[in-house]
Amino acid sequence: MERSGVINIYKEAGYTSHDVVAKLRGILKQKKIGHTGTLDPQAQGVLPVCLGKGTKLCDLLADHDKEYEAVLRLGITTDTQDMEGNVLQESSVQVSEKEVRTCILSFQGEQMQVPPMYSALKVNGKKLYELAREGKVVERKARPVTFHKIEVLWMELPKVKIRVQCSKGTYIRTLCNDIGEKLGCGGCMEELLRTRVERFALEDAVKLDEVQKAMEEGTVDSLIFPVDRIFDQYPTAKTTTQGDLLVHNGNRLFSELLQEEPEAESGYVRVYDSEDTFIGLFEKKTDQLVPVKMFYRKEN
């Protein structure tokens, strides 16, 4: 049986995001599984994993804002911008706690960030980390990112723990590097914990061995977040039996084929067929609903 939805995995240190997917394929006995954004092997925390029809959500969830807690280690610069890399420079930390706090908070808001060489971004079809391992450094264009909020949780120089709420495509390693550079003593990331992706929070995340246990006990479905609930901020519509055939084939819907429809004149709508099966996300335009993202698949 193929399961569909999202499971909030707590990725432990030592696993790559691909490792998690591979292990879940073995545990759940299904192939169609995908993750929603890479976490470095030594990083821990929230990794929403999409199952079955839910794999269509991967890009959508990857685009959402995220929250992290990180330990910044001042006085050390490495080639990977974290403590896993080769040390390029060590410096004494001669800055005050006040200077460090002021510098860190200055990164709040919109920033231009240069992606690190040790990242999965591609240049001319090759991943940057592959080029870095060959000893090559290529020019990377700075990209706009947003740090919605940065908090200093504790400070025991040369270490500082921060909480960061940021936009997609943000590298916390690079933030740590940039803070150290601005302070003039260098810096890198010592620890990273992802605490939230969209609605998926750390306190609700489950480890792989917990999924394995739930599978053995027959309770694994209780860990899976249904696909339609990702869109629960939108109103619902329900088709008539005559509308089922059209909607099952991904066609647009007119009002006369709906037994329930939202009052709003425009906007996104969750559409269900007459049997209450979730079909997908549609957009209401005047007198019709137009498909945006379909999740219905006819069972053989």
How many Å apart are CA 288 and CA 295, to the nearest integer?
Answer: 19
Strand ranges, E, within the chain: 5-11, 33-35, 44-51, 66-74, 76-78, 87-90, 109-113, 122-123, 126-127, 143-156, 159-166, 187-197, 200-201, 224-225, 236-239, 253-254, 258-260, 266-272, 278-285, 288-294
For the record, the structure tokens of 179 come out as 């803070």
Contact call for residues 128 and 115 (beta carbons, < 8 A): yes
The DSSP bridge pattern shows strands 236-239 and 258-260 to be antiparallel
How many Å apart are CA 71 and CA 83, to the nearest integer?
Answer: 11
Query: Would you call 178 a catalytic residue per the annotation?
Result: no
Cβ neighbours of 29 (radius 10 Å): 11
Which member of 40, 82, 178, 273 is catalytic?
40
Helix, strand or coil, per DSSP, at residue 19: helix
Question: Closest Cα to residue 240, out of 292, 287, 275?
Answer: 275
How many Å apart are CA 249 and CA 236, to the nearest integer?
Answer: 19
* Phi, psi torsion values for 257, nearest 5 degrees: -100, 15
Count Cβ atoms within 10 A of the Cβ of residue 21 and give its class: 0-12 exposed, 13-18 middle, 19 or more buried: middle
Active-site residue set: 40
